[in-house]
Amino acid sequence: MSFYKNFEEYNLEAADEVKDNYSKIIKGVGEDIEREGLVKTPERAAKAMLFLTQGYEQDPVKILKAAMFKEDYDDMVIIKDIELYSLCEHHMLPFFGKAHVAYIPNGHIVGLSKIPRIVDVFARRLQVQERLTHDILECLNDTLKPQGVAVVIEASHMCMMMRGVQKQNSVTTTSGFRGQFEKQETRNEFLKLISSSLS
């Protein structure tokens, strides 16, 4: 089964409630809900919102544990440039960018596709970038129990670009380090590798 739900899998009662609320919002901004272009907008918006917040229905620990394997490899594993899309919990506007994640195994490795999935699980919730970074870091650290974990997120926030200060080119960077990555030498190696092109 696909990691992402089809709309038909969502709680239809919740979907109807979200749809009704979008109808009220559209009316509230002064639009005609019966206008041809808007007739199906509440349903479409409800589907989009349930998709963008499906992380609440997913268990990141189960995802990781389903693909953990015993392995003696104990050097750094990095997955960089993981696309992420989330919704700022303050204005419910998107923020988007890249996550760079590394860990040093301690007897177990995890399937490589699971780390981007963990990023998605936490990103598909109402978030702030600081907590998103922390959530990913702590989930990997607590579940894999590696020698170390590192997470860096670079993102652009529509709440800064479309409204407020309206700064179009600003990028916010957050980071977190545990275990071996708290040592400057290991952390510097990670930061050098995610900033370089190896191809």
Contact 149, 102 (CB under 8 A): yes
Active-site option among 43, 57, 91, 138: 91
Q: At 164, is the secondary structure helix, strand, or coil?
A: coil
Active-site option among 9, 83, 89, 182: 89
**Cα distance between residue 104 and residue 140, in whole Å:** 11
**φ, ψ dihedrals at 169, nearest 5°:** -110, 10
Active-site option among 100, 127, 147, 157: 157
Active-site option among 17, 90, 130, 182: 90
Rg (CA), the chain: 20
**100 catalytic per annotation:** no
Contact 7, 51 (CB under 8 A): yes
**Cα distance between residue 91 and residue 84, in whole Å:** 18
**88 catalytic per annotation:** yes
Active-site option among 58, 127, 129, 180: 129
Q: At 81, is the secondary structure helix, strand, or coil?
A: strand
Active-site option among 88, 127, 147, 180: 88
**139 catalytic per annotation:** no
Active-site option among 159, 182, 184, 189: 159
Residue 166: which region, alpha, beta or left (left: phi > 0; alpha: psi -120 to 50)?
Answer: left
Nearest to 118 by CA among 95, 147, 90, 142: 142
List, by residue number, the catalytic residues.
88-91, 129, 157, 159
